[in-house]
Amino acid sequence: MHLRHDPLYASRRSPVLADNMVSTSHPLAAQAGLSMLAQGGNAVDAAIATAAALTVVEPTGNGLGSDAFCILWDGAELHGLNASGPAPMGWSPERFAGQDKMPFRGWNSVTVPGAIAAWAALSDRFGTLDFATLLAPAVGYAENGFAVSPVIGKLWEIGGDTLGAQP
């Protein structure tokens, strides 16, 4: 019997089963998370290391200036974290009066980033590894370089075309 296989991708992909798993859009970020698990860390440690690595290897979609959200089950209780970053203290609703939507670019579109605060809060409450360990893979990618994927390369090009004239 022959089974027909018409893959959506150029390579064959198969499910992988393991005691621990990290799934991301970039293999280096997944490796960062897996390395935390291999060092005795838990899922929170892996998530933080993965997020930090993504800020380096996929900066067009993730970054230190990002927001973060988490729904976490600790085995007994459900926890939620909204680190969407507040608006600057001096802003009021009147600042945006008469606008039908938030500006897409410029200072009026910026909030205080929440990602780093989320990482710190999650690590303090649920993590087991120190921040130097959690950030080591991201620091390594930033210092030593990495192969930029074709998709991220194209997004950098688009970003350059879009924002290149900015001061």
Rounded to the nearest 10 degrees, the angle between the axes of helix 115-126 and helix 43-57 is: 160
73 DSSP β-pair partners: 78
Across residues 113-118, what is the average pLDDT? 92
Residue environment code for 36-56, b if the CB has 16+ CB neighbours within 10 A, otherwise e: bbeeebebbbbbbbbbbbbbb
The mean predicted confidence, pLDDT, of the chain is 88
Asked if 55 and 67 count as a contact pair (C-beta separation under 8 A), the reply is no
Asked if 117 and 69 count as a contact pair (C-beta separation under 8 A), the reply is no
The tens digit of pLDDT for each residue in 3-21 reads: 455 556 566 667 667 788 8
> What is residue 116's predicted lDDT score, i.e. its pLDDT?
93
> What is residue 1's predicted lDDT score, i.e. its pLDDT?
47
